[in-house]
Amino acid sequence: MLYEHLGARPRIHDTAVIAPTAVVSGDVQIGPGCQVLHGAVITAEGGPITIGEHVIVMENALIRATAAHAVHIGPHTLVGTLASIAGATVGEEVFFASGARIFNGALVGDRCEVRVNAIVHRRAVLPSGTVVPIGWVAVGDPVELFSPDRADEIAAAQPDLDFPGHVFGVDRDTPDLMVQLTERYGSSLARHAQDVRIDGPAAGGE
């Protein structure tokens, strides 16, 4: 399903294949030879998404850009089932295994591997060829890799982490943090009420 969002329509190369149950929304460019499989969601929430040639986005993966963080994914990259990439820049020939999580502002170099359920934290920078092992966490620039049982060390490596402020624009110390966060973010997401489907039987009369 293809949607116009905030006046922007997806631009999909003629040789790319988008499954009928995938969703592509807004300012998204998908290159030649790409495959976007069932249940995948590629949504440009105010910032652009650019996907290079021969990228495979597996079932139920999520790729999301924001106004603050565009997404770029280089050629010959595979985004595994249930993986998510939010506001990150990805090089060429990168492998994201099932359940990998890549957060806003991260930079993943060429030929990296982010294995099953591994995490690349906000603004982490992975040099070319980095392997993040199964379930491990990548933090910082220069990057450090931690096993998931080292929570205190992970926190210490990113003392300026302010996810609510950086992603949602709400100060972490706000007394009614979740009230402010959900109302502000909900207002932004409500703009999808004006989306126009541009393919299929409900394509606005097309």
Q: How big is the CA angle at 96 (ends 92 and 101), to the nearest 5 degrees?
A: 120
Q: For residue 188, what is the enclosing H or E element?
A: helix 177-189
Question: pLDDT tens, 188-202?
Answer: 778 888 889 998 765
Q: Are 2 and 198 in contact (CB under 8 A)?
A: yes
pLDDT in the model for residue 192: 81
Q: In the structure, what pLDDT confidence band is assigned to residue 161 with cuts at 50, 70 and 90?
A: low
Q: Kindly state the average pLDDT of the residues 24-53.
A: 96
pLDDT in the model for residue 206: 45
Cis peptide before 142 (omega within 30 of 0): yes
Q: How big is the CA angle at 190 (ends 178 and 181), to the nearest 5 degrees?
A: 15
Q: In the structure, what pLDDT confidence band is assigned to residue 176 with cuts at 50, 70 and 90?
A: confident
Is the pLDDT reported for residue 205 higher than 60?
A: no
Is the pLDDT reported for residue 204 higher than 60?
A: no
pLDDT in the model for residue 159: 54
Q: Are 93 and 74 in contact (CB under 8 A)?
A: yes
Report the distance separating Cα 68 and Cα 48, nearest Å: 10
Pick the CATH number of 2-160 from 2.40.10.340, 3.40.50.20, 2.160.10.10, 1.10.3720.10: 2.160.10.10
Q: Are 129 and 114 in contact (CB under 8 A)?
A: no
Question: pLDDT tens, 126-159?
Answer: 999 999 999 999 999 999 999 988 878 877 776 5
Report the distance separating Cα 88 and Cα 65, nearest Å: 8
